[in-house]
């Protein structure tokens, strides 16, 4: 009978050890807007005001809502979003366009440390918008969340069924961000229409072992 090879269990975190680190404010885990009102107010927002950037605290809260660690038990670091087998095959990247004290560029969210790893600096608004089938909201958003699936992390246990679970995980995470955005007075919209190869190139992932699965744009509503 087939058995799991625990000696080959994949790491549940991706690391960029040589990347510069960007500190994030400590997220609030006790207050916030009432859940029922947030659910009632959630709408897809496609138009953003560019007059005022997001704050570090707002970006921090969104990232924590996406995949922040909430508890550690018996060697497992549980997060805000559920994941099949607690394998967490989805990685969070952000393209920062307008956030106070964070240089525009491409970043990876280091979940365990709750900080950003700087991968590229510069203005990537046009690149992201073109990769999202020329949707203007991807250009004008303050920050663009990009989620990738690291498939071997899940296929190790679930084999072919892992490809279903990765997308379910991404959906849980994106909904967390959508609700957190409402709670912060921000707007968001989820994007599934994208050119995989262009997004993967932006993130420098291979498109085989790791590939984009979902995008969410966030900003101040216009």
Cβ–Cβ under 8 Å, residues 211 and 198: no
CA separation for the pair 175, 183 (Å, rounded): 12
The pLDDT assigned to 2 comes to 78
91-114 average pLDDT score: 98
Cβ–Cβ under 8 Å, residues 114 and 61: no
Domain limits, the chain: 19-219
184-209 average pLDDT score: 98
Write out the two tokens for 72.
């550690």
The pLDDT assigned to 50 comes to 85
pLDDT tens across 119-156, in order? 999 999 999 999 999 999 999 999 999 999 999 999 99
Q: Cβ atoms within 10 A of the Cβ of 114, count?
A: 18
Q: Cβ atoms within 10 A of the Cβ of 138, count?
A: 25
The pLDDT assigned to 24 comes to 98
pLDDT higher than 80, residue 100: yes
pLDDT tens across 33-65, in order? 999 999 999 999 999 998 899 999 999 999 999
3 falls in which pLDDT band (50, 70, 90)?
A: confident
What is the CATH number assigned to the segment(s) 19-219? 3.40.109.10
CA separation for the pair 107, 97 (Å, rounded): 11
Handedness of CA 122, 184, 187, 15 (dihedral sign): positive
Instruction: Considering only the C-alpha atoms of the chain, give the largest distance between any 2 of them, rounded to a whole number of Å.
Output: 61
pTM: 0.97
């Amino acid at each position: 009978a087939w058995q799991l090879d625990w000696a080959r269990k994949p790491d549940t975190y991706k690391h960029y050890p040589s990347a510069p680190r960007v500190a994030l404010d400590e997220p609030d885990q006790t207050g916030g807007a009432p859940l029922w009102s947030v659910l009632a107010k959630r709408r897809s927002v496609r138009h953003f005001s560019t007059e005022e950037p997001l704050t570090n605290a707002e970006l921090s809260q969104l990232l924590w809502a996406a995949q922040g660690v909430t508890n550690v038990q018996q060697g497992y670091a549980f997060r805000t979003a559920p994941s099949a087998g607690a394998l967490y095959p989805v990685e969070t990247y952000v393209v920062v366009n307008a956030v106070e004290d964070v240089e525009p560029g491409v970043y990876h969210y280091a979940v365990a440390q709750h900080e950003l790893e700087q991968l590229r600096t510069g203005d990537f608004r046009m690149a992201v918008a073109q990769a999202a089938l020329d949707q203007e909201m991807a250009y004008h958003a303050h920050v663009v969340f990009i989620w990738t699936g690291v498939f071997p992390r899940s296929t190790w246990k679930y084999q072919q069924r892992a490809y279903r679970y990765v997308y379910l995980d991404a959906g849980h995470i994106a909904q967390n961000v959508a609700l957190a955005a409402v709670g912060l007075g921000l707007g968001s919209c989820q994007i599934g229409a994208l050119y995989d190869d262009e997004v993967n190139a932006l993130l420098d992932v291979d498109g085989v072992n790791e590939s984009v699965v979902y995008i969410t744009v966030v900003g101040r509503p216009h």
